[in-house]
């Protein structure tokens, strides 16, 4: 609006107001007009708000109507079923009493055999010992060996009380050759005592969602109330392999280090046969005690997937090789029976929702800000529940959550994706109404 037009409007409005001031009857009529307008608008506004709050639509779909992709040429059709992909049988004939295969990228369980039963886990405990030491300790700090640490049974480094080692060196001793004395020395150094270090381990377990786990020792020797589940152990391992230093240690073939006061050298060699016998293997940890049997937690990283396997109580002596056979069966299942599918694309838009009491008017477009891709079998059915209101009441903030998309696999909820508002809408207020009335009927410029 130009300065001359603005001045003209102001003069016109001033003339009207001068008339109202000079004529009390005219001023009375104007006040009644404004009050009546607000009295009509307010109930309508509240009625619309109540209607908006009480109406909601939930739509169930077999598939979202847009293209999806995978790493093969298979199609993901509108009925939500994968086709043209050879089915691979589940690894039912395992030696392990307890086993689980997890997609480490999203913690989805791909297979389990009594995977939620609490059992001892032997030296796979040291996965958590290493993770806590990396997060809580300084690798360049010096560890002084206690009498208690030196007294640990085999397998051990045979360190002596009073000897000093760099913490970062003992982490290789811990994982490559599973030395029990190194585990206790690390725990006492980082936590102040084995008991305090166990508290740190348990706190970390709860943080990761491993709620059926309790650590008592840092080395996994049989102890009362020292237990986990295959599922919890897979959660812990999936988190651990996200740590670059953790992965560097567990993949090291051989490592040499020195006692700090005498210069005595030690060389530890990686005992993980899986690391060199399976394509894409990155570790992780073996274990054995009389109560736990042979155990192994493995991890495989390939182009489109990252898998973690757990086998517990996979035989007792002399069946030392059972854990390797079980792990290979699990990993073969994970690499061959599943195809990576993008089931929800980022920036997918849904039906527009009308907005009431909005200055701008019109509608708001719900959309997804994230995508969902996961490993699927041919037999798995993916469906979606879309929950959105029938209408919205202004104000609506751009990017605000206005609904949700529930992804289900075989009718079981997998994840919930928020649906966001593409546009923002400003609410009509009494001030806005009054300004509009003054502009339209009294030629008053209100800015």
- Kind of pairing between the strands at 281-289 and 293-302: antiparallel
CA distance 17 to 21: 6
Q: List all residues 6 or more positions away from 383 whose beta carbon is below 8 Å from its beta carbon.
A: 60, 61, 62, 63, 80, 407, 408, 411
Q: What is the distance between the alpha carbons of residues 429 and 348, in angstroms, rounded to a whole number?
A: 33
Selected catalytic residue, list 105, 113, 126, 173: 126
Alpha-carbon gap, residue 439 to 445, rounded angstroms: 6
- What the block records as the tokens of 36 is 């009546």
Q: Could you give the CA distance from residue 9 to residue 232 in angstroms, rounded to a whole number? A: 73
C-alpha to C-alpha distances, 432 to 34, 170, 446, nearest whole angstrom: 13, 70, 10
Q: DSSP 3-state assignment of 326? A: helix
Active site residue 178: yes
Of 105, 146, 173, 178, catalytic: 178
Can 126 be counted among the known catalytic residues? yes
Instruction: Output the six-digit token pair for 338.
Output: 């599943």
Start-to-end CA distance of the chain, whole Å, equals: 10
> For residues 173 and 121, is the Cβ–Cβ distance under 8 A?
no
Catalytic choice (105, 113, 123, 341) = 123
The DSSP output letter for 179 is -
State the catalytic residues: 123, 126, 178
């Amino acid at each position: 609006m130009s300065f001359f037009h603005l001045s003209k409007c102001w003069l016109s409005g001033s003339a009207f107001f001068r008339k109202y001031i000079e004529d009390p009857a005219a001023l009375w009529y104007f006040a009644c007009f404004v009050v009546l307008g607000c009295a009509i608008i307010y109930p309508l506004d509240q009625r619309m708000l109540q209607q908006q709050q009480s109406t909601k639509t939930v739509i169930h779909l077999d598939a979202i109507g847009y293209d999806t992709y995978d790493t093969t040429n298979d199609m993901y059709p509108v009925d939500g079923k994968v086709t043209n992909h050879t089915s691979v049988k589940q690894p039912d004939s395992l030696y392990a009493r307890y086993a689980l295969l997890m997609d480490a990228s999203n913690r989805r369980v791909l297979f389990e055999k009594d995977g939620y039963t609490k059992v001892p886990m032997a030296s796979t405990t040291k996965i958590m010992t290493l993770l806590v030491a990396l997060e809580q300790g300084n690798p360049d700090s010096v560890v002084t060996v206690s009498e208690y640490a030196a007294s640990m049974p085999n397998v051990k480094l045979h360190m002596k009380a009073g000897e000093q080692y760099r913490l970062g060196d003992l982490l290789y001793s811990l994982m490559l050759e599973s030395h029990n004395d190194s585990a206790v020395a690390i725990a006492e150094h980082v936590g102040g005592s084995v008991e305090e270090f166990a508290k740190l381990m348990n706190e970390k377990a709860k943080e990761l969602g491993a709620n059926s786990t309790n650590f008592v020792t840092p080395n996994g020797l049989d102890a009362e109330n020292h237990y986990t589940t295959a599922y919890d152990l897979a959660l812990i391992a999936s988190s651990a392999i996200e740590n670059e230093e953790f992965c560097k240690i567990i993949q090291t073939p051989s490592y040499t280090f020195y006692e700090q006061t005498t210069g005595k050298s030690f060389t530890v060699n990686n005992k993980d046969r899986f690391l060199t016998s399976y394509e894409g293997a990155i570790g992780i940890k073996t274990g054995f005690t009389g109560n736990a049997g042979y155990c192994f937690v493995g991890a495989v990283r390939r182009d489109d997937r990252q898998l973690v396997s757990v086998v517990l109580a996979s035989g007792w002596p002399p069946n030392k090789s059972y854990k390797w056979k079980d792990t290979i069966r699990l990993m073969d299942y994970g690499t061959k029976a599943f195809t990576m599918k993008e089931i929800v694309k980022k920036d997918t838009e849904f039906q527009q929702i009308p907005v009431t009491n909005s200055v701008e008017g019109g509608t708001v477009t719900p959309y997804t800000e994230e995508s969902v891709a996961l490993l699927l079998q041919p037999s798995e059915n993916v469906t979606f529940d879309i929950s959105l209101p029938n209408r919205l009441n202004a104000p609506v903030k751009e990017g605000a959550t206005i609904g949700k998309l529930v992804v289900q696999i075989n009718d079981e909820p997998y994840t919930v994706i928020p649906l966001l508002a593409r546009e923002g809408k400003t609410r009509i207020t009494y001030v806005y109404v009054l300004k509009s009335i003054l502009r339209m009927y009294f030629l008053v410029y209100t800015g």
